[in-house]
Chain A
Amino acid sequence: MSARAIKITAGVAVIAIAVAMLIWVSVGKGSVYYYTVSELLAKGPVQQVRVSGELVAGSVQGLGTTSLKFVLHDRDKPELTVPVTYEGPVPDTFKDQPDIEVVAEGDFAADGLFKATVLTPKCPSKYEAAP
């Protein structure tokens, strides 16, 4: 190998290692586990996770305020449910409609209550006209 090729290889290797370390550290600080309702129930109490499920129609209490209570059910096994509480600004797209998919981020306590700190209604047509 020529001296130039060695230099280039060394440079690329250094950059690759640095990037790998950067990503390693960042993934550690930024990853959040993503569960469905049934996976969350199987897992038991856990902190700082996301749970996604569908809204049980009519279960929402406190709409129009900043503290919500509602129930999510599993998409595939609707008999599995988890009650959720949330304090904070309610996204404009959060509505008490059946089958709206909701992602809540927060802690799942031993008493079976999910305390959410972030609430994201996943409306597939958020910026499109209402169906």
Chain B
Amino acid sequence: MNLLGYVCLILVSIACLGGLALALAAIVRRSDEAARSAFLAVHAVAALAVLASLSLVVLLVTRDFSNYYVYSYTARSLPFAYTLSAFWAGNAGSLLLWLLLMAVFSLVVLRQLRREAPSSAPHAAAVLLAITAFFALLMLFGNDSNPFLRQPGAIPADGRGMNPMLQHPGMVIHPVALYFGYVGLAVPFAVIMGGLLARSPSSAWLPALRRWSLLGWLFLGIGNLVGAWWAYVTLGWGGYWAWDPVENASLMPWLTATALVHSVAMLRRRQMFLGWTVLLAVFTFLLTIFGTFLTRSGIAASVHAFSDNTFIPWFTIFLLAALLFSVVVILYRRSDLRSGKRLDHLVSRESSFLYTNVVLLVITFVVLWGVVFPTVAGALHGAEVGLDPNFFTVATVPLALVLMLLIGLCPLLPWRGTDTPRLLKDVAWTATPAIVVLVVLLAVGIRKPYTLLSFTLATFTAVSVALQYGRGWRSRRRAAGVGWLRAFGGLVWNNRSRYGGFLVHLGVIVVLVGITGSYAFKQVVDGELAQGEVLEVGRFELTYDGLTVEDAPDKQLARATFTVRHGGQVVGEVDPVKEYYYASDQVWTRVDVRSNLAGDLYVALLAFQGTGESVSIRAEINPLVGWLWIGGGVLVAGGLIALWPARRSRVRAPS
């Protein structure tokens, strides 16, 4: 199996390079035969990547410790699910997953392009094969990047096992979703570069572009959300986002992908924003590569993993090549990028898309600045200057508030121009509940300006989204003459991109409400408690009942038990755990969280004395944090609705 996987990797590289040569020949000689051969190569690459991945799966599930990767990330005691997820637990395996997704996605999108935009398919194939070739060669020639290396020396009896923090459902999903997103966002780049180079009309490649931009955006979003949830429940510091360079690395392409999705919508509906679309597809792709580079090179001071500085020259060259290629293509085809239409009015639906794009790009730029600033400042001043999370909150919160306003305002604005009386009427409808909320918040004594603004704007936006749904629902019921429920289903189903999009907006707002609540009203109390003593946190009283120590084959668990009271009434129990893993000599603080819609009680066991005579704990109240995950679910549901493929003959309802 080791040999099979290794040989597959070599053959993938050869097939990529061969296919690339054939695709280039097809472009230069306009030969359909060469194009067909290039697509055969794409099929071969996909088949070989699948075969290589299957070999790794077999190696993992048979726990073949003659393989160094299997030895490094699994052990006989590791549960089956985590033995499979060990596929992407390490650097080499995750690169193989990347290669697999890249090969399969290329095949799928090229089949679509062959059907819908055949003239651009060889160009797109060349771009996709070049990217795939980069990853295949990186796996073969990089240090610690080939999962099919044999164990040097004798075959050990057991593996080293997986880091306990990775043994969590969140860490099974998070990396896969991120890679789906990262790789998915390479596809729009290839589609649009292919379309530009072949001078294929945008209507031909637009369906492929739209589908893959949305898909990449959705999965990158899921990856980030699940990563935040994992950090919250496993890392034990009570937060879900630390503005760590690696987190920023996956936030930035998500922001530009959001703008890309909006630009594609404008291109589809109004044949505008072609230049924006091209630019955003390029930015997004470059940022995914930059993000991979940050994550894997260890260049930024991050607590995240995968540092291998032999990757630095590889990624620098690839990033520069991709940048150069994009600039050349854009300059070469700049005359095609001028879309005939211009914005008619500074206050219109179209212009609100433009402002959204600008704000998203500005947020991306600010985050990028925060990521690279320490390196730049270090080069300029000698002394290194770091940026703490304060930088990011101070810089991004006002921008996020502007974004909230835009999300609410956009659907109220008519296409092409302004109908001022109607706009004022709509704004009055949506602003009134927002002002009521503002007054209530002021009455209960909240004075922080950002918090007030955030909740007020959230109300405004939620009402504005509800207004869109309500109006569409009512007119559909009247027009179709069906019941309320059927009218609602029909409304959403026949305008999936529109109403899916609104649902995503609602999800974003709910996420932002969760973030605002958990930042603005967070309470943290540290305490050392002897048995029977009480710690007060927020409206809860925690009484320390005792500590039990349990022995398991691979670890020892110390579990502290607390009774939770609220106003003298017992409302439950929390039992945070500290685990000690013998094999890896690692400690894991497993927090206990009691959630409801109002907020979480979050308790971590920091230390214990002796056999539990006293314990040190950190107790936190994280208000509204559950809304972050609920909003995330709404966002994903909206994205799926928008992404759901259309039947071939579809009737478009007027919007």
Taking beta carbons and an 8 Å cutoff, which residues of A are in contact with B?
4, 15, 19, 22-23, 25-27, 29-35, 39, 50, 64-66, 88-90, 92-93, 95, 103, 105, 120, 122-130
Q: In chain B, residues 599-615, which have Cβ atoms closer than 8 Å to a Cβ of chain A?
A: 604, 606-609
9 contacts between A and B (CB under 8 A): A26-B394, A34-B374, A34-B386, A64-B607, A65-B607, A126-B303, A128-B305, A129-B90, A130-B586
Complex CA–CA separation, A19 to B358 (angstroms)? 11
**A34-B385 contact, Cβ under 8 Å, with A25-B394, A89-B606, A127-B305:** yes
A-B contact count (CB 8 A): 129
Q: Which of A15, A27, A105: most chain B Cβ within 10 A?
A: A27
Query: Are the CB atoms of B358 and A15 closer together than 8 Å?
Result: yes
Query: Are the CB atoms of A23 and B395 closer together than 8 Å?
Result: yes
Query: Are the CB atoms of A34 and B384 closer together than 8 Å?
Result: yes
Query: Are the CB atoms of A26 and B366 closer together than 8 Å?
Result: yes
Query: Are the CB atoms of B389 and A130 closer together than 8 Å?
Result: no
Determine if B519 is an interface residue (Cβ-Cβ < 8 Å). no
Query: Are the CB atoms of A66 and B358 closer together than 8 Å?
Result: no
Q: How extensive is the interface on chain B, given as a class? A: 35 or more
Determine if B469 is an interface residue (Cβ-Cβ < 8 Å). no
Query: Are the CB atoms of B587 and A30 closer together than 8 Å?
Result: no
Query: Are the CB atoms of B162 and A30 closer together than 8 Å?
Result: no
Given A66-B607, A95-B585, A120-B303, 15 further pairs, Cβ under 8 A: A15-B362, A19-B366, A22-B399, A26-B395, A27-B373, A27-B391, A30-B392, A32-B385, A34-B385, A90-B607, A103-B301, A124-B298, A126-B163, A128-B306, A130-B585
**A30-B389 contact, Cβ under 8 Å, with A22-B395, A39-B383, A90-B606:** yes
Query: Are the CB atoms of A27 and B384 closer together than 8 Å?
Result: no
Query: Are the CB atoms of B73 and A29 closer together than 8 Å?
Result: no
Closest to B366 in A: A23
Determine if B325 is an interface residue (Cβ-Cβ < 8 Å). no
Q: What distance in Å separates the Cβ of B372 from its nearest Cβ neighbour in chain A? A: 12
**A31-B358 contact, Cβ under 8 Å, with A19-B365, A88-B526, A128-B306:** no
List the A side residues contacting B304 at CB < 8 Å.
Answer: 126-127
Interface string of B379-406 (1 = CB under 8 A from A): 0000111111111101100110000000
Complex CA–CA separation, A30 to B406 (angstroms)? 27
**A125-B395 contact, Cβ under 8 Å, with A29-B390, A32-B385:** no
Closest to B163 in A: A127
Determine if B588 is an interface residue (Cβ-Cβ < 8 Å). yes
List the B side residues contacting A26 at CB < 8 Å.
Answer: 366, 390-392, 394-395
List the B side residues contacting A130 at CB < 8 Å.
Answer: 160, 163, 583-586
Q: What distance in Å separates the Cβ of A77 from its nearest Cβ neighbour in chain B? A: 17
**Partner pick for A129 among B161, B237, B392, CB 8 A cutoff:** B161
Determine if B332 is an interface residue (Cβ-Cβ < 8 Å). no
Determine if B528 is an interface residue (Cβ-Cβ < 8 Å). yes
**A89-B236 contact, Cβ under 8 Å, with A34-B386, A129-B72:** yes
List the A side residues contacting B394 at CB < 8 Å.
Answer: 25-26, 29-30
Query: Are the CB atoms of A31 and B385 closer together than 8 Å?
Result: yes
**Partner pick for A127 among B166, B301, B377, B609, CB 8 A cutoff:** B166
List the A side residues contacting B618 at CB < 8 Å.
Answer: 89
